[in-house]
Amino acid sequence: MPFLVIGESLVDIVVPAGGGEHHDAVGGSCLNVAVGLARLDVPTTLLTRIGDDAYGDLVLDHLRASDVALVDGSVVPGGSTSTATAQLDEEQAATYDFDLVWDVSAADLPEGTSGVHVGSLGTTLEPGRTSVVHLVQRAVDADVFVSYDPNIRPFFLDDREAAWRDVLEVAAGARLVKLSDEDLRLLRPDSAEDDVCRELLAASRTELVVLTRGGKGAKAYTDGAVLEVQAPATELVDTVGAGDSFMAAMLAMLADWGVVSGGDGALSALDDDRVALLVRGAVVAAAITCSRRGANPPTRRELPAAWPAG
């Protein structure tokens, strides 16, 4: 049964210093997760919003190349596709200008959905956020697995306390919550990492919280333990899409192990060794993404033969 990913798709328009020819790249956190899942042989459907314009065609081509299906209505006739223009300076630092519209109106989950992933701008920007929260609740009511990655964008963070309340609302419906240390510094700068992750884990439905820490690896929080996994050595090209690749890899493993379809308690039933293996496999996938340009998650055939163990 397909995994449903709900969230934004956009095109990054990268303008080099001095105003040279720009470079267009398809992106968006949730789109990247959908592509990463499909490349790991998990049937995946994306509910998003793009226009029937040239940038929308770029998005469609990118999704088709990885066999990601679209929910009907994701392409808006006469609509425009969201963009993020990155103007680079001489030091390659970027200043962003966003042209974003996020509005989805699906009233129910597609029939046969095995799991749902949400996050980033899809759970932040109105009016679409309201629809996403509604669909998360529909998944909770149907005992469908939900995962969540807040993936905070500083450009849109106007009110830290309001943003944290929004995160807690969505996270309460998720069995798996993944977030980065950067997210924590933006949302709860005065709180210890362990305290924030334990607060998220305290929600009645949440069974596992995973904190990514860049080159330092990741930590997994269960009811009984905190498990640390180191990142493998890699030749860093950039970190674009690494967190999304990490998320997709975790979901693919959980699908392989029957956890996604296993119902309430299946995730928390994993022992410490299996949770550590879950995180280890995810950091391996993320490291491959870091070793090449842009949000380019690995296929299953590009992973080590012993994956997720190696």
Residue 253 · residue 303 · CB < 8 Å? no
Rg (C-alpha) for the chain, rounded Å, is 18
CA distance linking residue 310 with residue 173, whole number of Å: 32
Closest CA to 156 of 210, 83, 96, 74: 96
Helices marked H in 52-211 — which ranges?
A: 54-65, 128-141, 160-171, 181-187, 193-201
Annotated active-site residue 244? The verdict is yes
Distance CA 35, CA 157 (A): 26
Please tell me which residue in 12, 149, 183, 244 is annotated as part of the active site. 244
Q: H-helix or E-strand containing 117?
A: strand 115-119
Residues 264 and 260: their CA atoms lie apart, in Å, by: 9
Dist CA 6 CA 139 (whole Å) = 12
Tokens of 56: 């929308």
Q: Residue 98's beta-bridge partner residues?
A: 84
CA-to-CA dists, residue 239 to 182, 236, 291, angstroms: 13, 8, 8
Nearest to 119 by CA among 238, 223, 22, 243: 243
Tell me the CA distances in angstroms from 144 to 139, 203, 265, 274, one per residue in order: 5, 16, 12, 22
- Catalytically annotated residues: 244
